[in-house]
Homo-oligomer: A and B are copies of this chain.
Amino acid sequence: MSQDDFEASEEAHRNDPGVLRDAEDHLNPLWVERLRMLIAAAETETIAELVEPLHASDMGDVLEALDKEDRLRLIALLGERFDFSALTEVDETVRDEVMDNLSNAEIARGVSGLDSDDAVYILEDIEGADREEILAQMPAFERLSLKRSLDFPEESAGRRMQTDFIAIPPFWTVGQTIDYLRSEKDLPDEFYQIYVVDPSYTVLGILPLDKLLRSQRTVRVETLMNTNFIQVSAEEDQEEAARDFERYDLVEVPVVDANKRLVGVLTIDDIVDVIQEEASEDIRRMAGVGDEEISDKVTGAVRSRATWLFINMITATLASVVIGFFDATIEQMVALAVLMPIVAAMGGNAGTQTMTITVRALAMRELDSFKLRRLITREIVVGLINGLIFAVLIGIITAVRFANPSLGVVIALAIVVNFLFAGSAGVLIPIAFNKAKIDPAVASSTFVMTITDVVGFFAFLLLAGLWFGLF
């Protein structure tokens, strides 16, 4: 269905309300408008026909496009026909709104139909008593497996894993395995490999489906399986698991508990989300917008940004105090006030460049001891060279602008000094934070900017004061 929509959207007119997405892959406003009218008219049957064929991800986008009232109304109209998997595809703010409006019984019923990883994703945001009540209303087998997942730490492999998998003993033959798959009704919806386990559920090997299909019926699976495989611990952070997927091009890995027993599998589709989230998190943290999402309310956004702005206020005040030391100097030569922001801004930019390269390399675990040493040297050298280039440029511009060659020399010297500090701080501060187990993406930029501001103002005003004998 999504394919039909997809194909159609490429050719169709933008004015066709039957098309879900326009050529740029955005939701078609006409489609959404039509749905909105159907919701207002409470045309439940027509709505169900329209949304039931949608992929969870498309339905998620539709939910996000509706305003709160229409969204809740839509879900109420659909009732049991609403597929909860769409809730795994919306921003947290939207999900919370929807969940707040559903009874625990409704949630229990909706979640029961989901894959275990999707169910955990929804339940992990629900607090204590409510969560217990929801779990209590679910079938025993599902309840136990969800509880086990929820017992693992937040953002761990155990939380993201799917607890449905196929495990077989090593002495089975290919024929036995295929016969089992043909006769067994209760298999996962989709699977890419079969796990060969001993009686205690320790993984002995992995059997990709293509290997099974290429082999004769009489071959025993233990002679076919890969014994050379990656497995992740359920306690492990999802980011670490993601790195294994990236590094070794994996599609599915077994997840084991503390006793090395197979408890679930992680699949690449969940990991793609993790990779995407982690990258966005780095970008947002460097800019001081925390874990904000675009659906967050005004109050949430104000709060998440105020912390950063508050820290920045202290930093800016500090820089201002440094300038204050030189007020008498500035009074004698106002050109200094006119020029000093240039020194600070250039240093700030150079520092941010170095810092960004370093923070990203740390996040991707690219910096082993060899690359680390090279990076530090390179950044300081790059800082010096760019410092010299822009010192000359800005020195000349200043000398001409103020018809004062000495002022050009002073600003040039200050820029070289500030670029050197910018390069060193930009590479060393994130590394130091990383060593101290503080996320370098969050903390580095304030520190680097403070240094480039303070050093920029101080170096320029001090050098000017000395050169022109203003003290």
Question: What residues make up the interface of A, taking CB atoms closer than 8 Å to B?
Answer: 1-4, 6, 24-27, 29, 32, 55, 57-58, 61, 64-66, 178, 181-182, 187, 190-192, 208-210, 212-216, 228-231, 240, 243-251, 268-269, 271-273, 275-276, 279-280, 282-284, 286-289, 292, 294-295, 297-298, 301-302, 305-306, 308-310, 312-313, 315-317, 319-320, 323-324, 327-328, 330-331, 334-342, 344-346, 349-350, 352-353, 355-357, 360-361, 364-371, 375, 378, 381-382, 385-386, 389-390, 393-394, 397, 453, 457
Contacts and interface: CB of A to CB of B under 8 A. Distances in A.
Nearest to A208: B190
A375 to B, nearest CB: 6
Contacts of A286: 283, 287, 356
A128 to B, nearest CB: 31
B302 A382 contact: yes
Contact of A365 (B26, B316, B369): B26
A37 to B, nearest CB: 15
Given A308-B349, A308-B353, 4 more contacts: A24-B365, A55-B248, A178-B213, A327-B337
A6 B369 CA distance: 19
A357 B292 contact: yes
Contacts of A272: 245-246, 249, 268, 271-272, 275
Contacts of A356: 283-284, 286-287, 289
Given A371-B294, A382-B305, A353 B289 contact: yes
Given A228-B3, A298-B382, A308-B353, A334 B338 contact: no
B339 A320 contact: yes
Give the top 5 A-B pairs by smallest Cβ distance, nearest first: A279-B279, A337-B337, A287-B356, A249-B269, A209-B209
